[in-house]
Chain A
Amino acid sequence: MKIENLKKYFPVKNGVFKKSEYVHAVDNVDLEIPKEKIFSVVGESGSGKTTLGRTVLRLVEPTSGQVIYNGADITKISQHKMVKFRKKMQIVFQDPYNSLHPRRLVKDIVGESLVIHERITSTEMLSRVKDILGKVGLNEDHMFRYPHEFSGGQRQRIAIARALILNPEFLVLDEPTSALDVSVQAVILELLKKLKDEFSLTYLFITHNLAVVDYMSDFVAVMYLGQIVEVGKKDDIFSSPMHPYTYALLSSIPKPDPKQKRATVVFKGEIPSAVNPPSGCRFHTRCLYAQDICRTEEPRSLEIFKGHFVKCHFPLNKK
């Protein structure tokens, strides 16, 4: 999968006579997601990571740009032809309490897409649902129950089963464990890793939790105010972050170890509004190293090492 110049602006209206403004939710994003890898997008709330995930699947229509999947630009094709691609691309949402229909049985929630895409008999559907539930650690007794009878972790398993039943190739995981307790989160993350190998899946993993990113991913993209500020192999990003934002993010995480005391960089200020993003480099209002050029000129994304891109005038380069 390849993403080029992808943009999504949401219009916001302020009053009747004012011109409508735009929230620059995703602004000129370029990414390449290699096959059968876990590609993580990390950022704070409002950075546009969820919108990116949805735009990639055309759950929201992009304002401009291309999403190329197996050689075809899926932003240009008709909704009718899109159905063929939907089979291959699925999503798991953050909150398993809201993403499952409360008045439908698990077998219908999981099996619905089979009925739509493959027009199969109901006995066949049941056996396929049974198989997939087994793969995610549930069993056939669970098929005739309603979502409220399940705990958060089990519901997320149902949501994963629903995404996997059509044998997709590409899965967007939008904060799949953020609503879960840590002891359950660990189980679900392990399950996702296992399923990736079993079904040869490619993941676009969206999260705000850097420790989870470190645990799960092969590649990482860091988002800030709709833009990718740094992207590269996970090990490169974690061992030598080059964008000041990445560096600050990494040092802000409270370490579950009393011996490693507090963050070294506590940086000032909050995320600016995406309606009027700051001029020049969008991070300059919070950056410790900002200079005059950062306020006026937007930095380009440069490849500093092979496969490690950073969008900064003065990348931190410790070597």
Chain B
Amino acid sequence: MSKNLLEVKNLKVVFHTYRGTVHALDGISFDVKKNEKLGIIGETGCGKSVTSLAIMRLIDLPGEITNGEIIFDGKDIMKLSENLLNDIRGKDISMIFQEPLSSLNPVMKVGFQIGESISRVKKSSMKESRQDVLDALEVVGLDPKRVIDLYPHELSGGMAQRVMISMALSTNPKLMIADEPTSALDVTIQAQIIALLDDLVSKMRNTVILITHDLGVAAQFCDRILIMYAGNVVENAKTDELFENPLHPYTKGLLKAIPKIGNRGKLVGIPGNVPDLVNPPTGCRFHPRCPYAMEICKIEKPSLKMETSDHGVACHLYG
């Protein structure tokens, strides 16, 4: 079996706000194997985007990483200097964001923006990297000669996301983090982008972390899925296993709450709301909404235990 490209251990992130300290990540641990496509799923405010930013140490004040280890390719990201870290960012780890049009610089041509990262990594001049830019645009299915001289406002949402993908993959990174890459797009365009991403990463053998709130997208794309709730990983399993045999009450609730085509049964939502992370519930953070909550759930936080060798769950009902 291939070894781990990324190991995250007991990562804690807080944000200092004038309402109090927001405990955005409450000690999460997970591994990403080489060539794996990992999905991180959760609702608004569960900490999935913060996780991706923390991996690249992009958490800035008022946020702070208070604890944890992030081992990427044998190096401890937490101990690297800013200079060494900048060599990793963009070259070994790259990122795609949710809103492609707001993550591109509106006053720079597309070609320049892609060329910038290529020339930095290859230490070549912008002129020399022009051919690489054309190739990168070709790969994502755009007309390179035309698009290279366009400004971002001349692109549609789908084209802009293709540009982002070409930028992220132009340096052939070991790890690509895609943060809700299709959430701002229409379904037909979403289908194109997911198919494109899948095709590219299987050809170039990149490792991918896909962050999404859409279980459908994750089911189609990912090998393994982490379910997050209120700053914790509550379940970690292979995709097939997770959909067939969900263990955590929250995962079960989520699966029952998605409307599916052809399903005539009643939809069951999860009562209550996502907790406020300034004052998170004690014990298991899901207990106020959990139909199976016991006394111990209010007191003690369950740790992520392996149910089988490949299926972990953080719940007092198990183990």
Chain A residues in the interface with B (C-beta under 8 A): 44-45, 151, 153-154, 181-190, 208-212, 214-215, 238, 248-259, 261-263, 266-268, 270-271
Contacts and interface: CB of A to CB of B under 8 A. Distances in A.
Interface stretch (B17-25, B94-102, B249-257): B249-257
Nearest to B187: A252
Given A257-B219, A258-B240, A271-B186, A182 B257 contact: yes
B243 A186 contact: no
A276 to B, nearest CB: 15
DSSP majority for the B interface? helix
Contacts of A266: 191-192, 195
A154 B261 CA distance: 26
B215 to A, nearest CB: 4
Contacts of A251: 191
Interface of B: 43-44, 156, 158-159, 186-192, 194-195, 198, 213-217, 219-220, 239-240, 243, 253-263, 266-271, 273-274
Contacts of A263: 191, 195
A249 B188 contact: yes
B191 A189 contact: no
A66 to B, nearest CB: 31
Contact of A215 (B259, B268, B269): B259
A187 B266 CA distance: 10
Tell which of A214, A250, A253, A259 has the most Cβ of chain B within 10 Å.
A253
A258 B192 CA distance: 18
A44 B187 CA distance: 8
B55 to A, nearest CB: 24
B255 A256 contact: yes
Nearest to B188: A252
Nearest to A46: B186
B1 to A, nearest CB: 20
B187 A253 contact: yes
Contacts of B216: 253-256
A176 B268 CA distance: 17
Nearest to A239: B262
Contacts of B189: 270
B259 A255 contact: no
A208 B273 contact: no
A252 B266 contact: no
Nearest to B273: A151
B269 A255 contact: no
Contacts of B271: 187
Given A153-B273, A238-B261, A270-B159, A186 B268 contact: yes
Contact of A185 (B156, B159, B194, B269): B269
Contacts of B267: 186, 189-190, 215
Given A181-B44, A266-B195, A267-B188, A254 B214 contact: yes
A210 B216 CA distance: 13
Contacts of A271: 186
A108 B185 CA distance: 36
A182 B263 CA distance: 16
A250 B261 contact: yes
A252 B213 contact: no
Given A214-B259, A258-B219, A183 B253 contact: yes
14 contacts: A44-B186, A183-B257, A186-B257, A186-B267, A186-B268, A189-B267, A190-B267, A208-B186, A209-B259, A252-B188, A253-B216, A254-B219, A267-B188, A268-B192
A32 B261 CA distance: 24
A181 B186 CA distance: 18
Contacts of A249: 187-188
A210 B261 contact: yes
A133 B183 CA distance: 32
Nearest to A188: B269
A185 B269 CA distance: 7
A262 B195 contact: yes
A186 B261 contact: no
Given A258-B240, A259-B243, 15 more contacts: A44-B187, A151-B274, A182-B213, A184-B273, A188-B269, A189-B259, A211-B260, A214-B259, A214-B261, A214-B262, A252-B187, A254-B214, A254-B220, A258-B220, A261-B220
B211 to A, nearest CB: 15
A44 B148 CA distance: 28
Tell which of A44, A188, A252 has the most Cβ of chain B within 10 Å.
A252
Contacts of B43: 181-183
Nearest to A245: B188
A256 B218 CA distance: 8
Nearest to B44: A181
A127 to B, nearest CB: 27
Contacts of A268: 192
A255 B260 contact: yes
B271 to A, nearest CB: 7
Given A181-B44, A182-B43, A266-B195, A256 B239 contact: no
Contacts of A151: 273-274
Nearest to A177: B259
Tell which of A154, A210, A250, A270 has the most Cβ of chain B within 10 Å.
A270
Contacts of B257: 182-183, 185-186
Tell which of B43, B158, B257, B263 has the most Cβ of chain A within 10 Å.
B257
B135 to A, nearest CB: 21
Contacts of A254: 190-191, 194, 214, 216-217, 219-220
Nearest to A184: B269
Instruction: List the 7 shortest-distance A-B pairs measured between CB atoms, nearest first.
Output: A187-B269, A254-B216, A186-B269, A183-B270, A252-B191, A186-B257, A44-B186
Given A255-B260, A263-B191, A190 B266 contact: yes
A259 B188 contact: no
Given A254-B214, A256-B219, A256-B255, A248 B188 contact: yes
